[in-house]
Structure 1
Amino acid sequence: MNVTQMSCCPKRSETEAVLVYILLSSISVLTAALNLLVIISISHFKQLQTPTNLLLLSLAVSDFFVGLVMCFQILLSDSCWTLGDRMCTLYGVLDYIITSASVGTMVLISVDRYVAICDPLRYSDKVTVRGVVVCSGLCWVCSLLYNSVVMKENITQPGRYNSCSGECVIVINYIAGVIDVMLTFIGPVSVIIVLYLRVFVVAVSQARAMRSQRSGTFLAKRSELKAAKTLGVVVVVFLMCLCPYYCSTLTSQSSSFSATTVPLESWLFYFNSCLNPIIYAFCYPWFMKSVKLIVTLKILRSDSSETRIL
């Protein structure tokens, strides 16, 4: 496969470089900090450790790593990769693993909401804390193994596709690229859309049934409907940020990834990881309550994990 030749160290004006670094550093720190608050909240407070919230925890972990991965890009000196070929490969592999894990977690969230809304009577039997932990763990393990195979050549021979010093290029062959797009974009996104369309239809009909106060109809709880609405926003925002990233991949002539020239659609995907905790802040009262306890260090009390948050 031919790799597009690029300038390894394009020059920027000092003012432009400072503005870009300040902006990206702010997004990186904010992304890591906000998602760390989500991780601490759900991990610490026992009342928050529901199946749905554990899926949000898995998503927050991937979003937290996105914030850290952004630091690799910010550490570049004048748009040159100065961290060596091995770190270049590590950066590329982490980027792919996090993307796959995020998409997989979104599928699990869609399944969770589908069961909660469409089969509320058996939700507690079908969706358990243990089951969610196992599924989330498998999602991460499969993402790690899958991307290790896809990027085997880059891992075994770091820097093999670099054309000059200061460049960081990751390349996967055409067949692997097509399979990757099918498994990590087209397939999962199709499942997410189908499930949430079904959830939307059922939620609307149940909302009407609640307003008309029909008896004898088994309906999902209002809290489940609210959670479906909130997570629906998360899913829609995720798809809006993800689609440009993969559409760019589909329209490009080569399956290459360059750390020294990260396109706008990649930053849009990264920024999505910052938006999720902001959505929680507006839609989940428990998140703001837990943040106050964390910031005021009240979680250091011995019995703080038993605090009523909901």
Structure 2
Amino acid sequence: MTSTAASCLLFLTMNSFDEAELCFPELLNSSCRKTMRPHSVSILTYILLSSISLLTVTLNLLVIISISHFKQLHTPTNLLLLSLAVSDFFVGFLMFFQIVLIDGCWLLGDFMCILYYVLDYIITSASIGTMVLISVDRYVAICDPLHYPNKVTQKRVKICVCLCWICSAFFQILLLKDNLEQPGRYNSCFGECVIVINYIAGLADIFVSFIGPVTVIIVLYMKVFVVAVSHARAMRSHIAAFPLECSVSVTANKSELKATRALGVVIFFFLVCLCPYFCVSITGQDSLINASTAAFVMCLFYFNSCLNPVIYAFFYPWFRKYIKVIVTLKILQPGSCETNML
């Protein structure tokens, strides 16, 4: 082979290799490069994220159908769980966008990029707001049980949930205003999906969406825990002293304590899964951590939405019973919404 032919072959090989690394091979000078990783790793990541996404959507859809359809579940606390399930349901769909970004290329255009970020921010903010409402609900139920039915009504909870979602949408749209006005303005190459938030707005977002709500959640649940322990001791003493006179109020208290414990587990795992993501954002070390750590933080963040329905199934027998009714299609029978499983 002549030196000229060898040079041509080398050039063609290098050119095809470079094109294989580009998100848009036809845009040689302006296309972003793909994230190169072993094929087996990419396939495993696709399968894992797709499975989690499908499971998240399916499980939360069961929660949404259960609470929406069966009238017996239309309680203030369950309405809050419904709001949380809706946000988790959409998180499952947003994970498909993460699957698109596995190789580091965004192929859906600038508008879909900013739409993804807006929805992601709104859903995350609404989830955190719903967790605050759940903490307030448990605080009133345990610390002021006599006034709970009057203070926490279905109408008030619906108003609070609607305000939570509306305020989340308004705040996050305001936060991303510059990015919405000109989608893709901060992209350095084609195939990139980047947004930029100024320092002051980012700081405000961290305080409003994370530090403030988490502080409220922790303080309220610490108070709930102290009161719940004292209530549990009082109930044990009452049952020991009057074993034949277990009143309805004692049964009701047990039910509230059980619900508080279950929702406490939900909040605990929510904070465990959420804190690493926001801690990276607060410290500003997101550019220093490696790709594996960043992927783990994001997967942990999204996995929480899949975990919540599993917690309900573990703690709530009624949830398992209603799921059986839904899966066996008995929900299609006339009058199924009146089914009593409690």
- Bucket of the pairwise TM-score, normalised by the shorter protein: over 0.9
Quote the Cα distance in structure 2 between the aligned partners of 1:133 and 1:8: 47
Quote the Cα distance in structure 1 between the aligned partners of 2:306 and 2:57: 8
Per-residue CA distance 1:102-131 (angstroms, 9 max, x = gap): 000000000000000000001000000111
**TM superposition shift of 1:139:** 0.3
Quote the Cα distance in structure 2 between the aligned partners of 1:199 and 1:207: 12
Q: Quote the residue 2:235 is aligned against.
A: 210
Report if the CA contact (8 A) 1:48-1:309 is conserved.
no
Q: Quote the residue 2:269 is aligned against.
A: 237
Of 108, 112, 132, the match for 1:107: 132
Of 175, 187, 192, the match for 2:212: 187
Q: Which amino acid aligns with 2:325?
A: L
Q: Which amino acid aligns with 2:176?
A: M
Of 134, 137, 144, the match for 2:162: 137
Report if the CA contact (8 A) 1:25-1:71 is conserved.
yes
**TM superposition shift of 1:79:** 2.7
Q: Which structure 2 residues correspond to residues 224-303 of structure 1 after superposition, within 5 A? A: 224-252=256-284, 263-303=295-335
Of 172, 189, 192, the match for 1:167: 192
Quote the Cα distance in structure 1 between the aligned partners of 2:186 and 2:257: 50
Quote the Cα distance in structure 2 between the aligned partners of 1:156 and 1:308: 51
Per-residue CA distance 1:262-281 (angstroms, 9 max, x = gap): 64212211100000000001
**TM superposition shift of 1:78:** 2.8
Kindly tell me: are residues 181 and 23 of structure 1, through their superposed partners in 2, closer, same or farther at Cα, counting changes over 3 Å?
same
Secondary structure of the residue aligned to 1:96 is helix
Secondary structure of the residue aligned to 2:311 is helix
Kindly tell me: are residues 262 and 153 of structure 1, through their superposed partners in 2, closer, same or farther at Cα, counting changes over 3 Å?
farther
Quote the Cα distance in structure 2 between the aligned partners of 1:281 and 1:289: 9
Of 150, 153, 156, the match for 1:128: 153
Q: Which amino acid aligns with 1:165?
A: F
Kindly tell me: are residues 242 and 144 of structure 1, through their superposed partners in 2, closer, same or farther at Cα, counting changes over 3 Å?
same
**TM superposition shift of 1:8:** 4.4
Per-residue CA distance 1:38-83 (angstroms, 9 max, x = gap): 0000000000110000000000000000000001111347331100
Kindly tell me: are residues 275 and 52 of structure 1, through their superposed partners in 2, closer, same or farther at Cα, counting changes over 3 Å?
same
Of 47, 64, 71, the match for 2:96: 71
Report if the CA contact (8 A) 2:280-2:286 is conserved.
no
Report if the CA contact (8 A) 2:274-2:301 is conserved.
yes
Q: Which amino acid aligns with 1:98?
A: I
Identity of matched residues, %? 67
Quote the Cα distance in structure 1 between the aligned partners of 2:159 and 2:318: 25
Per-residue CA distance 1:89-114 (angstroms, 9 max, x = gap): 01111110011000000000000000
Quote the Cα distance in structure 2 between the aligned partners of 1:296 and 1:199: 38
Confirm or deny that 1:25 pairs with 2:50: yes
Of 157, 167, 184, the match for 2:182: 157
In the alignment of these two chains, the number of paired residues is 298
**Higher relative contact order (CA closer than 8 Å, sequence separation 6+):** 1
Confirm or deny that 1:306 pairs with 2:306: no
Q: Which amino acid aligns with 1:189?
A: V
**Which runs of no fewer than 5 residues in structure 2 stay unpaired?**
1-31, 288-292
Q: Quote the residue 2:7 is aligned against.
A: none
State which structure, 1 or 2, has the greater radius of gyration over its C-alpha atoms: 2
Runs of 4+ with >6 A deviation: none
Quote the Cα distance in structure 1 between the aligned partners of 2:300 and 2:188: 27
Secondary structure of the residue aligned to 1:221 is helix
Q: Quote the residue 1:258 is aligned against.
A: none
Give me the TM-score of the superposition, normalised by structure 1.
0.92
Quote the Cα distance in structure 1 between the aligned partners of 2:165 and 2:196: 22
Report if the CA contact (8 A) 1:8-1:165 is conserved.
no
Q: Quote the residue 2:29 is aligned against.
A: none
